[in-house]
């Protein structure tokens, strides 16, 4: 039977105060921890040619990265071939994102920066200025003010207002259905295997002794 203050009686009758044994920290497996995120930001800045960026320029860089991810998604299958221009005019390749995070950890990186990315996108109002992005959100019945909340890494964001949470859910449902249609019912892993097969085929495949090609 539970006692006040987090205590409970064990089978031997010994009262244990479990509140004294709370862990200091336990990571979510779907998000990078703060230390790793900091390392990734450092790699990105160096790769973008901004190793000595000051605090203000770093903020501009981070917001630019968040905007790119909000517009294009954080799928490991993304192209990341676009250009990103910061508020001061500095331009860098979107490819710095997967190079720093690793393809398999792109979304985990953004989830590790969920609170900051939420505040940056919302308080800057930057997504409201993108007519195409706002129109795309409207296809799911999402108001312009909530469009930023459709960012695909923000699932379960603790800062969401009820309206933003509802908008994110609507966008998520719409995207899942669209992805299923685009993949013709295949899983993401199946799509990746097909892509790898196409790449091998484009390279000429592998010659076997009999002259047959294996893909």
Tokens 């892509």 identify what position?
195
In a domain, 103, yes or no: yes
Total domain count, the chain: 2
Among residues 124, 89, 85, 111, which one has the least CA distance to residue 33?
111
In a domain, 5, yes or no: no
Q: Which of the residue ranges 12-16, 17-21, 55-59, 137-141 would you say has the lowest mean pLDDT?
A: 12-16
Q: For 117-132, write each residue's pLDDT tens digit.
A: 999 999 999 999 999 9
pLDDT tops 70 at residue 44: yes
What is the phi/psi pair of residue 9, to 5°? Answer: -85, 130
Residues 110 and 134 occupy one common structural domain = no
For residues 54 and 111, membership in a common domain is answered with yes
> Does residue 42 sit in the same domain as residue 87?
yes
Contacts of 92 (CB under 8 A, 6+ apart): 47, 48, 49, 50, 83, 84, 86
For residue 156, is it within any domain? no
Q: Which domain holds residue 133?
A: 128-150+162-205
Whether residue 186 is found in the same domain as residue 139:
yes
Residue pair 172/155 in contact by the 8 Å Cβ criterion:
yes
Q: Residue 98 CB: number of other CB atoms within 10 A?
A: 18
Q: Are residues 68 and 135 in the same domain?
A: no
pLDDT at site 23: 95
Closest alpha carbon to 161 in 174, 137, 173, 145: 145
Give the tens place of pLDDT for each residue, 74-98.
999 999 999 999 999 999 999 999 9
Same domain, 136 and 63: no
What is the pTM for the complete model shown?
A: 0.76
59-72 confidence digits (pLDDT tens): 999 999 999 999 99
Summarize the confidence of residues 101-127 as an average pLDDT: 98
Burial of 174 (0-12, 13-18, 19+ CB in 10 A): middle
Do residues 88 and 175 share a domain? no
**Residue 161 or 210, more confident:** 161
Task: Please determine, for residue 207, whether its predicted confidence score (pLDDT) is greater than 50.
Answer: no
Whether residues 132 and 187 fall in one domain: yes
Whether residues 142 and 184 fall in one domain: yes
């Amino acid at each position: 039977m539970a006692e006040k203050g987090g205590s409970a009686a064990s089978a031997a009758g010994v009262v244990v105060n479990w509140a004294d044994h709370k862990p200091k920290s336990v990571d979510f497996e779907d998000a990078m921890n703060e230390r790793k995120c900091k390392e990734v930001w450092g790699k990105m800045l160096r790769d973008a040619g901004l190793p000595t960026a000051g605090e203000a320029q770093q903020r501009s860089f981070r917001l630019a990265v968040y905007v790119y991810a909000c517009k294009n998604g954080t799928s490991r299958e993304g192209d990341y071939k676009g250009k990103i221009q910061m508020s001061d005019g500095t331009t860098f390749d979107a490819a710095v994102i997967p190079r720093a995070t690793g393809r398999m950890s792109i979304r985990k990186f953004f989830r590790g920066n969920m609170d900051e990315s939420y505040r940056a996108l919302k308080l800057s109002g930057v997504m409201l200025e993108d007519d195409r992005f706002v129109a795309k959100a409207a296809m799911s019945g999402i108001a312009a003010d909530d469009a930023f909340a459709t960012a695909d890494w923000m699932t379960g964001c603790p800062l969401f207002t009820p309206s933003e949470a509802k908008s994110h859910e609507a966008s998520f449902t719409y995207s899942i259905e669209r992805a299923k249609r685009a993949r013709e019912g295949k899983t993401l892993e199946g799509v990746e295997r097909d892509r790898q097969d196409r790449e091998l085929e484009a390279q000429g495949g592998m010659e076997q002794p009999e002259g047959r090609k294996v893909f």
